[in-house]
């Protein structure tokens, strides 16, 4: 038996045992990588069966069969795995906080992802899909069965354990057209299973000693084929100002068809037509991330922008270089009222002004706020609007609303300014997760790099 062990900073954080690996397969291996300030190691070494008899301290265990490519099966896309999974509630302290605090992550998410990629590389387990496997013990027993389509329109199944029961369902798409159940006798490990019906995929189940040891569903085989080849040529356009040149990649395609296929059957023509219709239907699906706004559709923009602003509980950032444009200042003051009522602890507005761009500077904008009766009433009730204003030395072209709630980030990219939402053609594009986080980080770094002329609190 072989053990894979992952060690972080001298402490074991994951153990994986592989049964039925004899010495011919055994390799003593060590790989390591720096994660933060800790050394991450992968070790592979041989152990005895007695090691797994001494496992203790677990809170519960799972046992069963894993299909290929189902996490945490470590054996790839062709091998099933019988798994015993011992779950521990004492998770590695270098990665997680305590159980009482619901296991908060103690390392950066970037380090965590890098660590899971290292583990997947050397163990085969896609631990990123099951991140709470850390601290557990996994025991696997592999079952590799070879299945090949035959010229007789059936399949050959080999490497089957002795005295097994094999069931195969031949299917045409989702329809079962033929099923076969075979019980292997004596020392037979290879079976041929013919099928006279037209099929393109199978389900196969193999039982040994009353246990399911192998399962594959919707296993497709190509009965005819088209091969599409692409030839790539480059065309270079010389340029003078924006760059030295631009290279256009031109593609030419050639299709080579299977000679055994003389023509499309009625069923194939219907299937192809169905696929084309599905593509047309898919093209008509409403995009829920990008919204095109036309003049007269202000209410659509108003609702989406308002929802984004009031969703902020921790931090809100508004980047609009033309927020204090003189011609649209009354509209900006209305948005300021909505932002004031936002529950975020920190609210920030970033804008640009100089003597030539027809906009108010920070002092002039503060004076306009003092003239607005509604804003002054809010200030009298709450003491302040709770907004930080930043006037920049140069403009930012695009407009952004960015929200941070704890470790979660989201926002909007706006194709026009707050004071011209009803009169332009533009897009509002939703941002989620790392995209919003990256943009906010870069913009804050830009502000902190000496790009703020004046700052005020209101």
pLDDT of residue 438: 95
**What is the architecture of the domain spanning 145-220?**
Sandwich (2.60)
pLDDT of residue 238: 80
Annotated domain spans of the chain: 2-143, 145-220, 291-457
Predicted confidence (pLDDT) at residue 110 exceeds the cutoff of 90: no
pLDDT of residue 228: 54
The string of pLDDT tens digits covering residues 115-169 is 999 999 999 999 888 889 999 999 999 988 889 888 768 999 998 888 889 999 9
Predicted confidence (pLDDT) at residue 104 exceeds the cutoff of 80: yes
Q: What is the phi/psi pair of residue 278, to 5°?
A: -60, -40
pLDDT of residue 27: 58
Q: What is the distance between the alpha carbons of residues 226 and 230, in angstroms, rounded to a whole number?
A: 13
* Residue 298 pLDDT grade (very low, low, confident, very high; cuts 50, 70, 90): very high
The string of pLDDT tens digits covering residues 369-407 is 999 999 999 898 888 999 999 999 999 999 999 999 999
pLDDT of residue 261: 47
* Residue 247 pLDDT grade (very low, low, confident, very high; cuts 50, 70, 90): confident
The string of pLDDT tens digits covering residues 257-279 is 444 445 556 556 666 766 776 67
Q: Do the first three CATH levels of 145-220 and 291-457 match, i.e. the same topology?
A: no
Q: Which range (165-169, 210-214, 227-231, 299-303) has the least confidence?
A: 227-231
H or E element: which one contains 121? helix 109-123
Q: What is the distance between the alpha carbons of residues 255 and 304, in angstroms, rounded to a whole number?
A: 47
Q: Which range (138-142, 234-238, 396-400, 437-441) has the least confidence?
A: 234-238
Rg of the chain on CA atoms, in Å: 32
**Residue scoring higher pLDDT (226 or 112):** 112
Predicted confidence (pLDDT) at residue 364 exceeds the cutoff of 50: yes
Angle at alpha carbon of residue 77, lines to 73 and 78, rounded to 5° = 100
The string of pLDDT tens digits covering residues 40-89 is 999 999 888 888 888 999 999 999 999 988 889 998 777 899 999 999 99
The string of pLDDT tens digits covering residues 157-180 is 998 888 889 999 999 889 999 999
Two tokens, residue 396 = 């930012």
SS3 226: strand
- Residue 122 has, within 13 A of its CA and on its CB side, a CA count of 25
* Residue 230 pLDDT grade (very low, low, confident, very high; cuts 50, 70, 90): low
Output the CA torsion sign for 417, 420, 426, 428.
Answer: positive
Q: Which CATH number fits domain 291-457: 3.30.870.10, 1.10.10.10, 3.30.70.20, 3.40.50.300?
A: 3.30.870.10
Q: What is the distance between the alpha carbons of residues 263 and 272, in angstroms, rounded to a whole number?
A: 13
* Residue 334 pLDDT grade (very low, low, confident, very high; cuts 50, 70, 90): very high
Predicted confidence (pLDDT) at residue 237 exceeds the cutoff of 80: no
pLDDT of residue 178: 94
pTM of the predicted model as reported, rounded to 2 decimal places: 0.58
The string of pLDDT tens digits covering residues 185-200 is 777 788 899 999 989 8
Q: What is the distance between the alpha carbons of residues 455 and 391, in angstroms, rounded to a whole number?
A: 6
pLDDT of residue 76: 78
Averaged pLDDT, 329-352: 94
């Amino acid at each position: 038996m072989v053990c894979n062990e992952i060690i972080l900073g001298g402490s074991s954080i994951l153990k994986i045992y592989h049964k039925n690996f004899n010495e011919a397969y055994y390799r003593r291996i060590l790989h390591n990588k720096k994660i933060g300030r800790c050394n991450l190691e992968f070790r592979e070494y041989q152990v005895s069966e007695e090691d797994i008899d001494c496992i203790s301290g677990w809170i519960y265990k799972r046992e069963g069969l894993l299909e290929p490519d189902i996490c945490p099966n470590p054996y790839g896309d062709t091998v099933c795995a019988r798994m015993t999974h011992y779950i521990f509630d004492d998770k590695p302290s270098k990665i997680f906080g305590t159980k009482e605090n619901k296991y908060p992550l103690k390392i950066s998410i970037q380090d965590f992802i890098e660590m899971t990629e290292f583990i997947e590389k050397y163990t085969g387990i896609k631990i990123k899909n099951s991140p709470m496997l850390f601290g557990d013990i996994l025991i696997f027993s592999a079952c590799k069965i070879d299945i090949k389509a035959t010229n007789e329109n059936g399949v050959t199944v080999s490497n089957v354990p002795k005295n097994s029961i094999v069931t195969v369902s031949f299917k045409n798409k989702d329809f079962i057209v033929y099923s076969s159940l075979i019980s292997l006798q004596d020392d037979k490990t290879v079976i041929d299973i013919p099928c006279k019906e037209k099929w393109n995929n199978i389900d196969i189940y193999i039982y040994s000693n009353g246990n399911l040891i192998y399962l594959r569903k919707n296993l497709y085989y190509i009965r005819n084929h088209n091969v599409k080849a692409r030839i790539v040529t480059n065309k270079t356009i010389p340029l003078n100002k924006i760059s030295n040149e631009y290279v256009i990649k031109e593609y030419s395609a050639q299709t080579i068809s299977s000679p055994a296929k003389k023509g499309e059957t009625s069923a194939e023509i219907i299937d192809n037509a169905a696929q084309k219709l599905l593509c047309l239907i898919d093209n008509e699906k409403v995009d829920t991330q990008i919204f095109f706004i036309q003049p007269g559709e202000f209410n659509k923009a108003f609702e989406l922008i308002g929802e984004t602003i009031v969703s902020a509980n921790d931090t809100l950032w508004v980047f609009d270089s033309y927020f204090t444009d003189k011609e649209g200042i009354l509209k900006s003051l209305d948005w300021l009222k909505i932002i004031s009522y936002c529950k975020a602890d920190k609210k920030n507005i970033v804008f640009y002004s100089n003597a030539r761009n027809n906009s108010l500077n920070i002092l002039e904008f503060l004076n306009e706020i003092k003239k607005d009766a509604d804003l002054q009433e809010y200030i009298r009730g709450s003491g302040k609007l709770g907004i930080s204003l930043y006037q920049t030395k140069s403009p930012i072209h695009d407009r952004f609303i960015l929200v941070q709630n704890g470790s979660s980030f989201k926002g909007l990219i706006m194709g026009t300014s707050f004071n011209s939402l009803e009169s332009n053609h533009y897009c509002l594009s939703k941002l989620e997760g790392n995209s919003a986080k990256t943009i906010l980080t870069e913009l804050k770094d830009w502000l902190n790099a000496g790009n703020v002329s004046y700052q005020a609190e209101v």
